[in-house]
Amino acid sequence: MTNIAFIGLGNMGGPMAANLAKAGHDVTATDLSIGAIDRAVEAGCKRGQSVAAAVADADIVVSMLPAGAHVRSVYMEDYGVLAHAKDGALFIDSSTIDVDSARAVIAAAADKDFAMVDAPVSGGVAAAAAGALTFMVGGESTAFERARPILDVMGKNVFHAGAAGNGQVAKIANNMLLAISMIGTCEAFNLAEKLGLDAQTFFDISSTASGQCWSMTSYCPAPGPVPAAPSNNDYQPGFAAAMMLKDLRLAQGAANAAKVATPLGAQAEAVYALMEAAGKDDLDFSGVMKLIRGDL
Ligand code: NAD
């Protein structure tokens, strides 16, 4: 049993904290929302009255917050983790945030002799509830090995991606590729259909030919060929277009800062921004098919 502080009990953090408590850990949970803390207490966590109080006795601090500004604040401000954690504590930030913030907070923790990893996840709320997330972890090997048993409770795949911030790099590079392949798949199915080739026949051919990709074979954006795909459920998420757009913006921010050319990533961001402008970013990210078809 480990003393764990869990900060950020939203859609993802709530079920993740619950799984740690269910596994027998002593979890003190805190959030700005009292309702979120109440739900965590019902799920077996202890009530954390504040960040400072929650982390005071923790051997491990896990955070699951919206964006880089929240993570910087929760760790680096006077009320926060670095000022109040006990010596030797390990910090795991699982939020999806910009690479610069991840590296800055890990460096600030190191300045105070705390070990810290960035450990963003792939998988949505259902995977968080099932303890089936994939973690992409950046940080020193020793910190990664200390974090692994805790991450194993919340996830089924745990990868060490290398140095601090590399978890975030893996996440945004993967999701940029996914967005590009999804948009390309939508364009191909739409073109085939408009030229008289039905989705199932095109799928049968392309899924065994060189156009094959995960967006097609596991998540086909054209209704029909992959029964479990959101395209057969009116594009209900799944993984919402709004969350894909968040990750694409993080990818473009990092690419611009590092002067790396990502022309298709930039296009993908622009396409998903159109979903947002149309007020349809609550659809699954494969719902970009509707935009390509002119159905939005
Ligand atoms: P959410 O908005 O539901 O939860 C965030 C929680 O953080 C909220 O309960 C909020 O009150 C709390 N919070 C904010 N500032 C705080 C502070 N200063 N102190 C304490 N608590 C604070 O978000 P979510 O959907 O749980 O996502 C969390 C992170 O996981 C995000 O970075 C998101 O991009 C990433 N993510 C989400 C999903 C998903 O499907 N929802 C999937 C993969 C990754």
pLDDT in tens, 87-105: 999 999 999 999 999 999 9
How far is it, in rounded angstroms, from Cα 269 to Cα 247?
Answer: 9
Domain with CATH 3.40.50.720 in the chain: 3-163
Check: CB of residue 58 under 8 Å from CB of residue 1: no
What pLDDT is stored for residue 205 in this prediction? 98
How far is it, in rounded angstroms, from Cα 186 to Cα 182?
Answer: 6
Q: Under CATH, to which class is 3-163 assigned?
A: alpha beta
How far is it, in rounded angstroms, from Cα 122 to Cα 149?
Answer: 18
Cis preceding linkage at 253, omega within 30: no
Residue-wise burial string across 204-242, b where 16 or more C-beta atoms lie within 10 A, e elsewhere:
eebeeeeeebebbbebbbbbebbeebbbeeebebbbbbb
Counting ligand 1 atoms within 8 A of each CB, the residue from 6, 7, 9, 11 with the most, and so the one to mutate, is 11
Domain with CATH 1.10.1040.10 in the chain: 169-293
What pLDDT is stored for residue 124 in this prediction? 86
Strands 133-138 and 121-122: antiparallel
Measured from the Cα of 124, ligand 1's closest atom is 40
What pLDDT is stored for residue 28 in this prediction? 98
Ligand 1: which residues within 6 Å by Cβ?
A: 7-13, 30-33, 36, 51, 64-66, 70, 73-74, 95-96, 121, 124-125, 243, 246
* Residue numbers of the chain with a pLDDT score lower than 50: none
Counting ligand 1 atoms within 8 A of each CB, the residue from 30, 31, 61, 249 with the most, and so the one to mutate, is 31
Residues in the chain: 296
What pLDDT is stored for residue 127 in this prediction? 93
Check: CB of residue 89 under 8 Å from CB of residue 34: no
Check: CB of residue 51 under 8 Å from CB of residue 29: no
What's phi and psi for 209, nearest 5 deg? -115, -170
Neighbours of 54 (CB within 10 A): 27
Residue-wise burial string across 138-167, b where 16 or more C-beta atoms lie within 10 A, e elsewhere:
bbbeebbebbbebbebbbeebbbbbebbbb
Domain 169-293 has CATH 1.10.1040.10: yes
